[in-house]
Amino acid sequence: MPVVKKTVALHPIMDGYVRKLQAILIDKGWRATYSTSLNYFVLYHVFDTVYGKKRREELLQAFLEDTRTLSEITKEDIITEYSEQMLRRIREKYIG
């Protein structure tokens, strides 16, 4: 799965909507990381444009129920976060 976390900059308005969406998904009982919410946000608009409302809802539900994909997204988030933490520690300890 491609990871673009370090190369994507979001406008503060879009970031706010992604965070609101994340809160909504969590309130509805879904395991929603920021990355999952951002993917949902983008897929919503892609599906709406390509398929229309009826098919969009079905496809978004399938996305949220796709535990394999969501686990992969979460795994990539964890790996990226761990790597960033290790780099910070190495810089602090050895570079100063």
Check: pTM over 0.85? Answer yes or no. no
59 near 18, Cβ under 8 Å?
no
pLDDT of residue 70: 93
What ranges do the domains of the chain cover? 9-95
Model confidence at 64: pLDDT above 90: yes
Average pLDDT for 68-75: 92
Q: Where do the H-state alpha helices sit in 1-96?
A: 12-27, 34-51, 53-65, 67-90
- CA atoms of 88 and 9, how far apart (whole Å): 21
- For 6-56, how does the pLDDT look when each residue is reduced to its tens digit (9 = 90+)? 667 889 999 999 999 999 999 999 989 999 999 999 999 999 999 998 899
